[in-house]
Chains A and B, each alone.
Chain A
Amino acid sequence: MNVVNANSVVMKKLLVFTVVMFVFGFALVPFYEKICEVTGLNNLLQADTLVENPQVDTARWVTIELDANVRGLPWQFKPLQRSVSVHPGEMVQVMYEISNNSNREINGQAIPSYSPQLLAKHLKKLECFCFSKQVLKPNEVRQMPVQFMIESNLPADINTVTISYTFFELGTNNAAAMRDSGNRS
């Protein structure tokens, strides 16, 4: 085998390796999702499981402010009450309402966000409209529950928390929508 051939053999091997690594970059996406799922990190779409007989701390009140937003889709979205006061350990249900103000069918997904961040650890959700996408027909109005509990080991200095949901439209170019809605500050 002369040097020219030997060189092109090495080049081909390295090109294959390059392509493999390029694909590997994309393979990290499902891999990452799998890890998050297996380790229970960052699971937005699954209901939590509850411990048996949670202790209700009737001596303590926590105020929960409910916040609702839409980003870039023609819906109205609001909680039916602005805030609720609950005991840690107590199961509560709150209602939200969405209405589609346009005459097209729209798929939306709600993403939760908590303040303080620490709340994420102590909030157990049994049911939520955010576990799946919501499909609204033209001008449809829907009321949806969230059922949850705040664990009684929430640090004692926290008396008021905020649970916020934002609806995003699925199946469109969110990046472009975000740019167009003047999101660049």
Chain B
Amino acid sequence: MAAVDHDIAHAHDDHHPTGLMRWIGATNHKDIGTMYLWFSFIMFLTGGVMALTIRAELFQPGIQIVNPELFNQLTTMHGLVMVFGAIMPAFVGFANWQIPMMIGAPDMAFARMNNWSFWLLVPAALLLISSFFVPGGAPAGGWTIYPPLSVQMGMGMDMAIFALHIMGAASIMGSINIITTVLNMRAPGMTLMKMPLFVWTWLITAYLLVLAMPVLAGAITMLLTDRNFGTNFFNAAGGGDPVMFQHIFWFFGHPEVYIMILPAFGIVSEIIPTFARKPLFGYSSMVYATASIAILSCIVWAHHMFTAGMPAAGQLFFMYATMLIAVPTGVKVFNWTATMWRGSMTFETPMLFAIGFIFLFTIGGFSGVICAIVPIDIQVQDTYYVIAHFHYVLVSGALFALFGGTYYWLPKWTGHMYDETLGKWHFWLSMFFFNLAFFVQHFLGLAGMPRRVPDYALQFADFNMISSIGAFGFGLTQLLFLYVVLKCIRGGEKAPASPWEGAKTLEWTLPSPAPYHSFETPPVVK
């Protein structure tokens, strides 16, 4: 077998540090994956508490619970924490656990760097959250940190910028690791075109990350120097331009939203064939569509800026480009549906989440296309309609895929079956409360309720109350998820190597729980 890396070679003896040192010095991809997943779950709860505070304030018109300053800090931090702390690290956790096992590699390519990418996240998250406690409070200008507000804010903003820098560096390191692992460490016979779709989508996502994250780093570096060193990149008075920040930010930002959804596509593309007991329909189309979405996602950014001042020709260009990007996305939805067509389907929890994903993500895709139509977007921009759109793609899209993936792979990770009944409860409650919380926000947006406001006019009261009830229901349901996972870790029915009849990928050839060191002798893939 190939001597891969001294880290991995070192791991040959079966002794590994125990206790705290096992985690601090972790270089094992499974340990690091576990830490990523717990980290992101903690951040998910943190961001969730912020969201529920927001929804509590919006339960009724008027100001009851938080003052407007704190409200703005909460909306901003909710966005930053969920995007950079919950969703992105969760997918990296999946990548760490699954990619080596799915391509037959013993570990990630750079085990030491893997450890750093994770541990950088922890101080970054602490820095970000402690900005609540400094004079002036946390950043409050929205997660998109537009100047001039972000230039004028107090030191909380500097802390957020540093935190973003660190998280950005961590995810670039993570991406380099993933790309290298996928390109160089596949088992013999595992050609690119035999790779499971989850690995493909992560490969493309990792390329998008190294493309987009440095641009964000540039933008926030400019913010930082504008704030502290007298440059005038975004300062109109000094010849700069605040609108330019929006362009640079969204040049990162739109690829970023695809960074958060492509791995979800990958997870769903693993789950659906397993429970439909049919190979994925149009595997090659799926690969091509993912690549195409990634490329096109770099030329649609200004659909976030239709009302920021743009000539009609520019609006039309970005409108057409955005609507065309929906085509490869639609192709994927068709492929998943076709995979289920005439399959012998069973509806275990992972499959429920995958089907819920397809159903609700499609709604989010459609509202995206509606936002892309300039004359409509001029009405709905910065209203709750946009909030509804991106929660349909991020919560019932990315997050549902993460839940589905967790149930799917939990037997492999823990060696126990999760409680199927509770899992199904988790799904149906999530489904119900999610729609209760967010569907009505479409109506609020169309009726003109602006986003990021702590108070609203009376005619919005009913829908806001419904939405808040849904949000609390959804939030509490996630404690059930925590319970199911903990229960599964601590015991339960013993999981066989392949608990799912239709599962075909390599990780199911390993015993459950997956041994600490797997595929040290690479399997041969025919």
Contact = CB atoms under 8 A, between A and B. Distances in A.
A109 B210 contact: no
- The SS class assigned to the A binding surface is helix
A175 B226 contact: yes
Interface string B415-457: 0000000000000000000000000000000000000000000
Interface in B162-210: 172, 175-176, 179-180, 183-185, 210
B110 A11 contact: yes
A168 B237 contact: yes
A38 interface: no
Interface stretch (A23-31, A49-57, A86-94): A23-31
Contacts of B227: 175-176
Given A17-B210, A21-B210, A21-B211, A175 B179 contact: no
B239 A25 contact: no
B63 to A, nearest CB: 17
Interface string A150-185: 000000000000000010101111111011000110
Interface in B137-157: 148, 151-154
A179 B172 contact: no
Contacts, number: 123
Contacts of B110: 7, 11
B214 A28 contact: no
B211 A28 contact: no
A71 B236 CA distance: 12
Contacts of A23: 218
Nearest to A179: B152
Given A17-B210, A109-B239, A3 B5 contact: yes
A76 interface: no
Nearest to B209: A18
B217 interface: yes
A59 interface: no
A6 B109 CA distance: 10
B4 interface: yes
B256 to A, nearest CB: 13
B524 interface: no
Contacts of B237: 71, 109, 111, 166, 168, 174
A144 interface: no
Contacts of A166: 237
B248 interface: yes
Contact of A14 (B151, B179, B218, B248): B179
Interface in B212-256: 212-219, 222, 226-230, 232-233, 235-239, 241, 243-244, 247-248, 251
Contacts of A21: 210-215
Contacts of A18: 172, 176, 210, 213-214
A98 to B, nearest CB: 15
B97 to A, nearest CB: 20
Given A24-B215, A174-B237, A184 B153 contact: yes
Contacts of A170: 238
B311 interface: yes
Interface residues of A, number: 41
Nearest to A172: B230
Contacts of A39: 311
B84 to A, nearest CB: 18
B20 interface: no
Interface string A1-16: 0111011001100110
B176 A11 contact: yes
A14 B176 contact: yes
B151 A10 contact: no
B452 to A, nearest CB: 16
Contacts of A29: 222, 233, 244
Interface in A55-80: 71
A21 B212 CA distance: 8
B152 A183 contact: yes
Nearest to B175: A14
Nearest to B185: A3
B243 to A, nearest CB: 8
Name which of B6, B213, B237 has the most chain A CB atoms within 10 A of its CB. Answer: B237
A41 B180 CA distance: 44
A32 B337 CA distance: 43
Given A21-B215, A39-B311, A184 B210 contact: no
A133 to B, nearest CB: 9
B458 interface: no
B2 interface: yes
B244 A32 contact: yes
Contacts of B175: 14
Contacts of A41: 311
A85 interface: no
A24 B214 CA distance: 9
A174 B148 CA distance: 11
A15 B176 contact: yes
Given A22-B217, A174-B230, A2 B235 contact: no
B297 to A, nearest CB: 15
Nearest to B2: A3
B5 A7 contact: yes
B515 to A, nearest CB: 21
A126 B436 CA distance: 58
Nearest to B109: A7
B312 interface: no
Contact of A25 (B214, B229, B241, B311): B214
Contact of B152 (A4, A7, A175): A175
B180 to A, nearest CB: 4
Closest 9 CB pairs of A and B: A25-B218, A168-B237, A173-B230, A21-B214, A22-B214, A25-B215, A10-B180, A14-B176, A7-B109
Given A71-B237, A173-B230, A178-B148, 13 more contacts: A7-B109, A7-B184, A18-B210, A21-B214, A25-B215, A25-B218, A26-B218, A28-B247, A111-B236, A172-B230, A174-B235, A174-B237, A184-B154
24 contacts: A3-B184, A4-B5, A10-B179, A10-B183, A17-B210, A17-B211, A18-B172, A18-B214, A21-B210, A21-B212, A21-B213, A22-B218, A24-B214, A25-B218, A28-B218, A28-B251, A32-B241, A42-B241, A42-B243, A71-B237, A173-B229, A175-B151, A175-B230, A178-B152
